[in-house]
Structure formats: structure tokens, C-alpha cells
Amino acid sequence: MILHVSGLDKFIPPFIKLIRDEFNEEDHCFWLSGSLEAYPLECKSDVYVCGGGLVGKIKGYVKLVRQLHAARKVILHGLFNIKVVLLLALCPWLLSKCYWVIWGGDLYQYKSAKKSLLSWVKEGLRRFVISRIGHLITYIEGDIELARQWYGAKGTHHECLMYLSNVVDSSLIAEPLGRPKDDASLNILVGNSADPSNNHLEVLERLLPYKDENIKIYIPLSYGDQGHADKVIKLGKSWFGEKLVPVTDFMPYETYVEFLKSIDISVFNHRRQQAMGNTITLLGMGKTVFMRTDVSQWCFLRNLGLKVCNVEGFTTELLDRERAMKNSAITRSYFSKDTLLKQYSKIFEG
């Protein structure tokens, strides 16, 4: 049995469906924590959701300990749950069969940890566990280097796209386009959520020289820090008026892909690995993507032969059609469902 341990998140229901559809369902089971209301999925015998309340949680974590010991392999989808980290620290003999799927935010907790006793204890537990985990899963080599540098990780690296959000569905995305028509607005996407790590305000300042041009600025703010979202909307409206369009309603995947087709330029100003699903889809569409050069995905994308632009040198100049087509071809080739399935087959069977 392969045990998957995860918090419920938007990536998980599609991942469970992928496992059920493409692999032997009887070989996998899922221990989940979180809200099924927020992220509904079809619950079968292969899925256990840790209950609410003290008693439910105690039963859930007792079950997890049993499943951890019974499993042939343990796939840890992110290392955010400190209770799971604690259990693994108390059972270090389990760590050699654990595979950490590195999400990004779990890795970068190293930089965001507060200077407090509680934070020091949590980081100590994380270092103990991460340094002993047998296997590390990501497609970004830079994140492996950081895990080794920050936490002393020694596990074997398995290259894997991780989730369907990192797969380009050629049937859903448009062919790469050239410049918008003369009478059409230049549509600019800023960030991927209401999280302050998007550094929206810095981007809006960079866009100020273009405020009198025919532009539309779209900012996804449907999830994340709503206090920060309100601040972004207030300031953005004062600077750009109706040219700033906050996207505050959550869109189904297909609807969101259609929305991305209308974007000409995207600006991701994160200081860590983030928004990769958006980045990959936009590159597959031949869109112009700006990001910081000091994030791990910058070198990864450039090494694939993709043209991504430095946010420090932002302009409204779009990629030419030839370059856009090349970006699209590279993206569709590497970030494919076939690649994802082959990578997981190797991980599950190894």
C-alpha cells in the first residue's frame, strides 16, 4: 500500500481522481485533513478525512500512525501540518520510506519563521524530519538545493511535475497569439492570489508609467489575505480607476483557463517559488511572463529554453510570434500529462 498524507487543497481532489483513473486504485489510500466543504471530492474506502473536534482528531492521528507503519511508501503532499511532522519525528524509522512532495510554501517556511520559542521548536522538528526523509519530489532543482542548504536534506531527488495544475492541456489552451488588435486593450495579469507574497503594490508602481495607455490590469484576489486584497483594490483604483479589475470570485478551472487566454502579459513578483501552474499555462499559450530572477523557477525555466522576462526591466513589449511559438512548444512537450504519469509510475514502482 502507498499512503498519501495531505491537507485538503485545490490540488488534491484532481490528484486523487488521477490516481483512481490511471493507477491501481487498490494500491493507494489517502489520509487527509481539512474541509470537504471547501474542497469536495468523492469519498470512497481509499480516502480517510481526519474528523473535527478533539476526539475526532485523536482518532484520526491514531489511525495515521497505524497507516504510516503499514504503508510500503508514504507520499507527504507538503509539510505544513506540524502534527504530522511531530509524529514523523517521534517515529524516525519511518522516514526512509517517505517521499516529500515539495510545494514551495512548506520549504520557504525557513525564511518566514518568526523569532519565537514556538517557531524555534517547530523549525527544529522540521529540520530533524526533513534531514532524514528518504526521498524528495519536485521538478525544480533549485528547491532541492534550498532544502539541502536550509534543512540538511539528504534524500534522493525524484523529478516530477507533481500535480495536474502543472500540466498543459493542449485541448484547452489557445494557440499562441501575436499582438492584440490596435483597438483592443493590453491585458495585464498581476499575481495569482491575495497573498501579500505577490507583492502587488510593487508591481502597480511599475505599471504607473503606463496608466494613460490602453491597458486593463487584472488582479486575482479570490483567495488569500482579504485585508491585503482590500488594500490592493483601494490603492489600485485610486491610481488606475476602472482600468484596474479585481478578480474576487473563484472560477472553475475551465473558466479560469478561458480568462487566461485573454491575458497578454503576466507579472509574478513573488520572492519564492509560487504560481507555477499559472506560469506554465501562460507560457503554453505563448504569453509574455515577467518574474523575479532570484527565485528558483527562473533558472529552471530558462534552462528548459523558455523565454521569461525580468520584472526589474518591465515593459509592455510582447514576445514576438516566433518566440511565443517556441515557448509554447517547449511547454507543451515537457509539462504534459504523459510526463507526469511516467514520473509517478517510476516513483510508485521503484
Shared-domain flag, residues 207 and 142: no
Shared-domain flag, residues 342 and 316: no
Does a structural domain hold residue 178?
Answer: no
Q: Give the C-alpha separation, 249 to 231, whole Å.
A: 17
131 neighbors 154 (Cβ within 8 angstroms): yes
User: To which H or E segment does residue 291 belong?
Assistant: strand 288-291
Work out the percent of the chain whose per-residue pLDDT is above 70: 97
Does a structural domain hold residue 40?
Answer: yes
**How many residues are recorded in the chain?**
350
Shared-domain flag, residues 128 and 92: yes
Shared-domain flag, residues 23 and 62: yes
User: To which H or E segment does residue 149 belong?
Assistant: helix 141-151
Does a structural domain hold residue 172?
Answer: no
Could you tell me the residue range of the domain that residue 282 belongs to?
A: 186-334
39 neighbors 17 (Cβ within 8 angstroms): no
Shared-domain flag, residues 30 and 71: yes
For residue range 127-166, what is the model confidence (pLDDT) as tens digits? 999 999 999 999 998 899 999 999 999 999 999 999 998 9
Does a structural domain hold residue 219?
Answer: yes
Report the amino acid identity of residue 211: K
pTM to 2 decimals? Answer: 0.82
Which distant-in-sequence residues (6+ apart) come within 8 Å of 336 by Cβ? 167, 168
Shared-domain flag, residues 41 and 125: yes
Q: Give the C-alpha separation, 159 to 140, whole Å.
A: 8
Set of cell numbers at residue 54: 478533539
Report the amino acid identity of residue 215: I
Give the pLDDT mean for 296-309.
92
Q: How many structural domains is the chain composed of?
A: 2
Beta bridge partners of 101: 77, 137
Does a structural domain hold residue 270?
Answer: yes
For residue range 35-51, what is the model confidence (pLDDT) as tens digits? 888 888 888 889 999 98
What's the pLDDT at 253?
Answer: 77
User: To which H or E segment does residue 157 belong?
Assistant: strand 156-159
Shared-domain flag, residues 138 and 47: yes
Shared-domain flag, residues 31 and 115: yes
What's the pLDDT at 195?
Answer: 86
Work out the percent of the chain whose per-residue pLDDT is above 90: 67
Set of cell numbers at residue 178: 501575436
Does a structural domain hold residue 175?
Answer: no
347 neighbors 99 (Cβ within 8 angstroms): yes
220 neighbors 201 (Cβ within 8 angstroms): no
Set of cell numbers at residue 301: 525555466
119 neighbors 83 (Cβ within 8 angstroms): no
Does a structural domain hold residue 180?
Answer: no
Does a structural domain hold residue 254?
Answer: yes
Per DSSP, 132 falls in state T
What's the pLDDT at 251?
Answer: 82
CATH at residue 131: 3.40.50.2000
Shared-domain flag, residues 252 and 155: no
Q: Give the C-alpha separation, 234 to 196, whole Å.
A: 15
For residue range 276-287, what is the model confidence (pLDDT) as tens digits? 888 999 999 999
Residue matched to cell numbers 476526539: 55
For residue range 72-118, what is the model confidence (pLDDT) as tens digits? 999 999 999 999 999 999 999 999 999 999 998 899 888 877 888 98
Shared-domain flag, residues 25 and 156: yes
Shared-domain flag, residues 19 and 145: yes
Shared-domain flag, residues 158 and 214: no
Beta bridge partners of 74: 3, 98
For residue range 210-253, what is the model confidence (pLDDT) as tens digits? 999 999 999 998 887 889 999 999 999 999 999 999 988 888 87
Residue matched to cell numbers 504607473: 208
